[in-house]
Structure 1
């Protein structure tokens, strides 16, 4: 935060100078609000930069992929195809039995909806980190006429600086000399999966226990 003072050596309460667009990328020209006229600008207080008070948790995680054996039913084309990576399956007989050659029997639950969710992540208090800023004050809104260059402002304490006589304060640039964010430990340490897979009716497949290749060849 920047405060402009009418008295020398920051001897009065001062007025807070709002920096419009200060959240934008550092180093750009910031127009002060209000612009401080020269007869009301004898000194300036620069408060130290502050570290972020908290860490933002990562975006919501998605549940891990399902593992197991899956089946996909496709329309019958009239022939078996070579180079198929899987088992060839057919529907069981009316009595539920599997015909010879298709004795590998599998039962699958039709997946209706994946209702699983992951518990949100939370962060502990930030620790460590270093922030050192250089603040450049200008008499114009385009930041071309520099008044003061205040370098190496850390996070320890606010500092008072004198201003050139009869010079207004209209623009500011803030450049981070060191910008090393702290770290936060997750609490809890892991995200848990809640919910279940909602399944439909059971489908039975009779599958070949070995690769079957059959073509439309006249014998």
Structure 2
């Protein structure tokens, strides 16, 4: 196995490659700086390499800021991991993995404005004529056996006009049952429904920490970030510093002609915890307490509503059962509203509820993108 010895930084000192010497004599003469490869690259007998890292000189962080890190921001569904950034550099005696695969910080931006709540309304209630009409071959509507009962129900949505649901001969007409009127309740409707908030507007920040050297940069007041597996960062990654709080100021931009960049671009404030329970109460309808639905239902022997058999007054509380007498038939029905006052409904709901709770703010400042 061949080895090309290049200076390497590890917390506490220099790394020795297999067969290498101490820093004073192992890597030969000459200066090494942060922009060069800074891990001993192991070249195996078959010509393959276990990888190496590159460095970048960045300004020292101001007081209160963490050591420089690599930061990615974007939609959470697209977030990479720190392992995606650094690759799988083997952990062997000869090669030191430069960064832990776990992120040092994961933060989120809070969602935008609370969702707009809908304008709720109600359909109008209505009175409905009886829909349950049956005959029994027994007297006073006795018996639950289907063999003794004959359905004679009017069609759905019956308006009271003459209908002939069938024909019931006298031997099957021992008694006639007519159900009560009913009140069709109102139903909630949304008169105005705002567009739902965009669920993809929130960003996530992933910060990966690694080795930082204070000795490999020629310029005073700079740190060497030994993170990268290549000499350029993958798309979306930035060199940044982080500080607790929402009101931290980033460094001032560099003056004209100054070759050294600063952490002057503020990515924003990201929070370790974002709990958004904001929403709207559902639309409902509260019916009024006063309503009356009364109708006279007439039964006829013939199928044209001309030969009257009986008339019954029906309400929402009253049902009707009568023995029409012997040698009678049933052929048709009609109905007339006496009181048709179904009441009204009051819409409720569509009110904002919940709250937005954010905790653990971090301000993120980065080097300009073109550095």
Residue of structure 2 in register with 1:60 after alignment: 191
For residues 50 and 121 of structure 1, what CA distance do their matches in structure 2 show?
24
Does structure 1 retain, via aligned residues, the 8 Å contact 2:160–2:335?
yes
Residue 121 of structure 1 deviates from its aligned partner by 5.5
The answer to whether 1:10 aligns with 2:10 is no
Residue of structure 2 in register with 1:70 after alignment: none
The answer to whether 1:158 aligns with 2:158 is no
Residue 4 of structure 1 deviates from its aligned partner by 0.6
RMSD: 2.8
Structure number with larger C-alpha Rg: 2
For residues 292 and 320 of structure 2, what CA distance do their matches in structure 1 show?
18
Secondary structure, counterpart of 1:157 in structure 2: coil
For residues 138 and 148 of structure 1, what CA distance do their matches in structure 2 show?
7
- Inter-CA distance 59–171: structure 2 relative to 1 (3 Å threshold): farther
For residues 327 and 343 of structure 2, what CA distance do their matches in structure 1 show?
41
Q: How does 1:149-188 map to 2 (within 5 A)?
A: 149-150=311-312, 152-188=313-349
Residue of structure 2 in register with 1:128 after alignment: 290
Secondary structure, counterpart of 2:140 in structure 1: helix
Residue of structure 1 in register with 2:174 after alignment: 42
Gaps of 5+ in 1: 64-118, 193-219
For residues 57 and 164 of structure 1, what CA distance do their matches in structure 2 show?
47
Residue 141 of structure 1 deviates from its aligned partner by 1.9
User: In structure 2, which of residues 154, 163, 187 is the aligned counterpart of residue 30 of structure 1?
Assistant: 163
For residues 163 and 183 of structure 1, what CA distance do their matches in structure 2 show?
38
Secondary structure, counterpart of 2:155 in structure 1: coil
Residues 142-162 of structure 1: per-residue CA shift (max 9 Å, x gap): 111111112x32222323211
Does structure 1 retain, via aligned residues, the 8 Å contact 2:174–2:325?
yes
Q: TM-score, normalised by structure 1?
A: 0.51
- Inter-CA distance 16–125: structure 2 relative to 1 (3 Å threshold): farther
Which of structures 1 and 2 has the larger relative contact order (alpha carbons within 8 angstroms, sep 6+)? Answer: 1
Q: TM-score, normalised by structure 2?
A: 0.32
- Inter-CA distance 20–149: structure 2 relative to 1 (3 Å threshold): closer
The number of equivalent residue pairs is: 132
Residue 49 of structure 1 deviates from its aligned partner by 1.1
Does structure 1 retain, via aligned residues, the 8 Å contact 2:136–2:150?
no
Gaps of 5+ in 2: 1-131, 195-280, 352-371
For residues 286 and 332 of structure 2, what CA distance do their matches in structure 1 show?
37
Q: How does 1:107-122 map to 2 (within 5 A)?
A: 122=284
For residues 158 and 181 of structure 1, what CA distance do their matches in structure 2 show?
18
- Inter-CA distance 120–18: structure 2 relative to 1 (3 Å threshold): farther
For residues 121 and 61 of structure 1, what CA distance do their matches in structure 2 show?
11
Does structure 2 retain, via aligned residues, the 8 Å contact 1:131–1:155?
yes
- Inter-CA distance 16–176: structure 2 relative to 1 (3 Å threshold): farther
